[in-house]
């Protein structure tokens, strides 16, 4: 391991002086914890403490850290090349990964567009939908808006932001430049509810009917709304959305950046409703959390109109598109996940789900707790009041675990390789942390 040239305190001081963190102010108001290394499900801090990681680094590191299979894939690929441009050139990792993605995602999806991050894959999906209608309509730009539900999260770039929840995303700050999209209330009937209620779709249906001529696509996170509030909704909602999109001639974009690759108990969340999207966005766990990588996939029905249009091509092509290192690691991650004999992700996620259900149940006894929700390897405790993060974050670390609460939510999305005794440490801490109010 390379030696450290800075003391822990120097790292903290320089960090606070110069380094901007996600959704943070500068000079940094919140003190960050410097990490020395990470292995398996543990993060080791520079002060020597180790934390059991319940976040998978924002839901990406499904196999934990420093996994030998992923490390090996990266090392081997590095010896050939870490990068070459993708314009006019191609390589084995890119085509092998595409072949694999086409195999494991819903069958209509045949074409893969690689990009660098989840937000960009959403930009690509939205541009694809717009250009599709433009090409199809002989230059007609009427279908240029997007319909979505409130409570969503699709990323931080401008077009992705425009379909995020308008309140959470503070759209009013950016209203002069933000595209105005069409919102309906978020689905109300929960995932586990036995009583599906068709009226949950009333607003969606009416709005779609009313605006069909100007809507290019519906965009949704299937089944689980992630960073917008961790709500799980009924598969019938998704199933009916698919039918209505067909009926009213609009495309369906599914954002599986958070839900993809097993997180909800099925390989993709669309499988809960047994539907096929027209465009699919993947990110986060695509590379097993090893590095930033994402993909947008689509059908031949959509891709085939691109050669006809005014541009004759799809107008997008990032510099680091199809990065060989990212492709090689993603392929290794996917192969590891799907190695049924040795890995058995389904059984792992199912075991995590059962344990979360049992061990988070006591949280309900706290008068401070509003709701407890579990689906697949996702465990959420929703409080009645928001946490004060400056107080809460050190309390979490004091428990020897790593969680990153936001708003009213304390939640875990552990790596799939987490063992029962490690997960117990997390659930026990969550029960303790939600039992009393911290000043």
Ligand X SMILES: *Cc1c(COP(=O)(O)O)cnc(C)c1O
Structure-token pair, residue 432: 């303790």
Does a cis peptide bond (omega within 30 degrees of 0) precede residue 283? no
284 annotated active-site: yes
Given 114, 153, 191, 237, which residue is catalytic?
153
Nearer to ligand X, 325 or 433 (CB): 325
The verdict on whether 205 is a catalytic residue reads no
Residue owning tokens 């579990």? 374
Instruction: Name the minimum Å distance from CB 169 to ligand X.
Output: 12
Minimal CA–CA distance to 256: which of 231, 237, 282? Answer: 282
Nearer to ligand X by Cβ, of 122 and 378: the residue is 122
Q: How far is the CB of 283 from ligand X (least distance, A)?
A: 5
Assigned token pair, 375: 């689906």
Closer residue to ligand X, CB minimum distance, 160 or 363:
160
Q: How far is the CB of 215 from ligand X (least distance, A)?
A: 20
Distance in angstroms (rounded) separating the CA atoms of residues 410 and 405? 5
Instruction: Determine the Cα–Cα distance for residues 153 and 72; give it in Å rounded to an integer.
Output: 33
Q: Could you tell me the smallest distance in angstroms from the CB atom of residue 286 to ligand X?
A: 10
Give the nearest distance from C-beta 257 to ligand X in angstroms.
4
Q: Whole-number minimum distance, CB 59 to ligand X, in Å? A: 7
Q: Which is nearer to ligand X, 226 or 265 (by Cβ)? A: 226
- Angstrom CA distances, 301 to 1, 78, 110, 159, 266, stand at 50, 37, 10, 24, 26
Q: How many helices (H) and strands (E) does the chain have?
A: 13, 16
Please pick, among 114, 255, 348, 411, the residue that the annotation labels catalytic.
Answer: 255
Nearest to 412 by CA among 372, 385, 439: 372
143, 159, 284, 408: the active-site residue: 284
Task: Write out the residues near ligand X by the rule CB under 6 A.
Answer: 117-119, 122, 153-155, 221, 226-227, 255, 257-258, 283-284
Nearer to ligand X, 229 or 324 (CB): 229
Exposure string for 217-253, b = 16+ CB within 10 A, e = fewer: bbbbbbbbbbbbbbbbbbbbbbbbbbebbeebebbbb
Question: How far out from the chain centre does Cα 134 lie?
Answer: 29
Q: In what order do the strands lie in the sheet with 369-375?
A: 369-375, 378-383, 409-412
The string of DSSP codes covering 302-336 is: HHTTTTTSSSSS-S---TTTT-HHHHHHHHHHHHH
Q: Give the nearer residue to ligand X in terms of CB position, either 297 or 433.
A: 297
Number of residue whose CB is nearest ligand X = 118
Phi, psi of 290 (to 5 degrees): -75, -45
Question: Which residue's CB is nearer to ligand X, number 60 or number 328?
Answer: 60
Using only C-alpha atoms, what is the Rg of the chain?
22
Closest approach, Cβ 53 to ligand X, in A, equals 17
Say how far apart CA 172 and CA 166 lie, in whole Å: 8
Give, in degrees to the nearest 5, the angle at Cα 18 between 15 and 23. 80
Helix (H, G, I), strand (E, B) or coil at 46: coil
**Is 255 an active-site residue?**
yes
Whether residue 23 lies in the annotated active site = yes
Report, as residue numbers or ranges, the catalytic residues: 23, 153, 255, 284
């Amino acid at each position: 391991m390379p030696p450290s040239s800075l003391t822990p305190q120097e790292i903290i001081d320089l960090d606070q002086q110069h380094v901007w963190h996600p959704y943070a102010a500068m000079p940094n108001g919140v003190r960050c914890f410097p990490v020395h290394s990470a292995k398996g499900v543990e993060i080791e801090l520079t002060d020597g403490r180790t934390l059991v990681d319940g976040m998978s680094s924002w839901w990406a590191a499904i196999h934990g850290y420093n996994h030998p299979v992923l490390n090996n894939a990266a090392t081997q690929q590095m010896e050939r090349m870490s990068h070459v441009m993708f314009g006019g050139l191609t390589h084995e990792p890119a085509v092998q990964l595409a072949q694999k993605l086409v195999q494991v995602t819903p069958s209509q999806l045949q074409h893969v567009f690689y990009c660098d991050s989840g937000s960009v894959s959403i930009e690509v999906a939205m541009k694809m939908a717009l250009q599709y209608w433009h090409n199809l309509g002989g230059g007609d730009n009427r279908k240029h808006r997007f319909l979505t539900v409130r409570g969503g999260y699709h990323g931080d770039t401008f077009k992705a932001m425009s379909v995020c929840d308008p309140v959470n995303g503070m759209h009013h700050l950016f209203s002069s430049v933000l595209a105005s999209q069409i919102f309906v209330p978020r689905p109300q009937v929960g995932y586990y509810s036995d009583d599906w209620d068709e009226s949950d779709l009333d607003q969606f249906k009416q709005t779609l009917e009313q605006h069909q001529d100007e809507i290019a696509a519906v965009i949704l996170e299937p089944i689980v709304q992630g960073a917008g509030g961790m709500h799980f909704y009924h598969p019938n909602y998704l199933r009916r959305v698919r039918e209505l999109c067909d009926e009213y001639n609009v495309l369906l974009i599914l954002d599986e950046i958070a839900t993809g690759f097993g997180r909800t108990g099925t390989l993709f969340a669309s499988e809960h409703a047994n539907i096929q999207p027209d465009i699919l966005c993947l990110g986060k766990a695509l590379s097993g959390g090893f590095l930033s990588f994402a993909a947008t996939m689509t059908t031949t029905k959509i891709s085939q109109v691109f050669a006809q249009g005014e541009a004759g091509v799809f107008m997008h092509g990032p510099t680091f598109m199809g990065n060989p290192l990212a492709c090689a690691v993603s392929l290794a991650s996917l192969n590891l996940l799907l190695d049924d004999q040795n890995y058995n992700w389904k059984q792992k996620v199912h075991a995590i789900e059962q344990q979360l259900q049992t061990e988070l149940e006591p949280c309900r006894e706290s008068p401070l707790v509003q709701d407890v929700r579990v689906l697949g390897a996702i465990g959420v405790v929703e409080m009645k009041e928001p946490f004060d993060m400056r107080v809460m974050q050190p309390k979490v670390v004091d428990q020897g675990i790593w969680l990153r609460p936001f708003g009213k939510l304390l939640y875990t999305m552990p790596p799939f390789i987490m063992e029962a005794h490690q997960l117990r440490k997390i659930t026990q801490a969550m029960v303790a942390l939600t039992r009393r109010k911290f000043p």
